[in-house]
Structure 1
Amino acid sequence: MTLILALDRCKEQIRSFLASNFYISDTAKLNDDDSLLDQGIIDSTGVLEVVGFIEANFGIAVDDSEILPENLDSIQGMAHYIVRKMSSTADA
């Protein structure tokens, strides 16, 4: 699977999860690189829900040291993190 296809698939799943679990007034206006924390979509508890979603749906373990804004604060950041983590797990 190409990187672009993998990223797009991840983004779709993340957007769907966010739309069904958090209040988003207009999902069409939510850009992939928008900060979910700054937009008020998720808070610290929401981050834990996102971690649970990533672990359950993508079969990867999110280490405490990886719970960082660059990994979990936007759809794009999550997708890149997931693909990178899955790739490193597959290489191991």
Structure 2
Amino acid sequence: MLSRKDPIDIYSEQIRGFLASNFYVADAESLQNDASLLDQGIVDSTGVLEVIGFIEETFGIIVEDSELLPENLDSVHGIAQYVIRKKN
């Protein structure tokens, strides 16, 4: 029987891979989905712009100024949930 991954798992893997290749993440697999990227020092204010560019290019969505909120962009899980909401 084939198992299907949930979109949130697929998006989380893509986001984690991006963070690991573009920012200093000692161990990408140990990065918890709900950990604050800002509080952990992984992403700074300039890095948020890189994350937005990644989201727009990878997932084909536009991040509106009104959506630049911590709950949307400050964790792997938050970003994945945001992408799912925007794509629906």
- The count of aligned residue pairs is 84
Contact 2:17 2:28 in 1 (8 A): no
> Which residue is equivalent to 1:66?
67
> Which residue is equivalent to 1:56?
57
> Which residue is equivalent to 1:35?
36
User: What is the TM-score when the length of structure 2 is the normalising length?
Assistant: 0.92
Report percent identity of matched pairs.
63
**Alpha-carbon shift at residue 61 of structure 1 (Å):** 0.2
Uncovered stretches (5+) of structure 1, i.e. residues with no partner: 88-92
CA deviations 1:18-77 (Å, max 9, x no partner) are: 000000112122100000000000000000000000000000000011011000000000
Distance 1:17 1:28 in 2: 12
> Which residue is equivalent to 1:25?
26
Distance 2:69 2:17 in 1: 21
